[in-house]
Amino acid sequence: MPATATVFAAVFIALYAAHAVGDHWVQSSCQAAHKGLPGWTGRWACTKHLIGLTITKAITLLAAILVLDLKVGTLGLALGLGADAASHWWADRRSTLAALARATGKGEFYSLGTPAHPNHPVDAEGHYAPTLGTGAYSLDQSWHVAWLFVASLIIAAV
C-alpha cells in the first residue's frame, strides 16, 4: 500500500535524524563514559541515555506526524519505539555488542582504532592516539540504524 510506504519513509527519516541528535547531542559525557560499566552504575547510565534518546525520537516523530499528517497508530508507535529502545540499550551496554562481534567474526574489526587492535593509531612518539573512528563505533551505529529500520516498519504497519 503506497500510504504505508510513505509513512515508513517519513518515520525512518525522522527516527534517523533523531537518533543522530539523541545519541550524540542529548547523551551526556557521563552517560557515554559509564553506560558500558558493569553493575547498576552502567545499567543506570545506559537507562538515563535511553530516556533522553527516546524522548528525542518521540518529539521528532510527533513533529513529523503532525506536519506531514501521517497516519500512525498508538500501538505501532509504542511497539516501534519500544523495540528500538530495547535494542539500543542492549547494544550500548557494550559487552553484549562486543560478544556479538566476536561471535560473528567481527572481533578484530570491533577493536579497530583502539589499543587492542594490532594496528592501532599512534602519535609521533609511537604512543596510542585516541580516535573516534573505531570499529566498535561503526558496528554500534550500524546496529542502531538496522533497528531504526525495524522500528519504522513496525510503526508504519501496526
Give the residue, 2 or 124, on which the prediction is more confident: 124
DSSP the chain: -HHHHHHHHHHHHHHHHHHHHIIIIIS-HHHHHHTTSSHHHHHHHHHHHHHHHHHHHHHHHHHHHHHHT----HHHHHHHHHHHHHHHHHHHTSHHHHHHHHHTT-HHHHHTTSTTSTT--B-TTS-B---S--HHHHHHHHHHHHHHHHHHHHHHH-
Structural domain tally of the chain? Answer: 1
Task: State pLDDT tens for residues 92-148.
Answer: 998 999 999 999 999 888 877 766 666 667 677 877 666 667 878 889 999 999 999
The C-alpha cell that represents 99 in the structure block: 560478544
For Cα atoms 116, 132, 82, give the angle at the middle one, nearest 5 degrees: 100
Regarding pTM above 0.85, the answer is: yes
Domain hosting residue 144, numbered range: 2-157
Q: Rounded distance, CA 84 to CA 14, Å?
A: 13
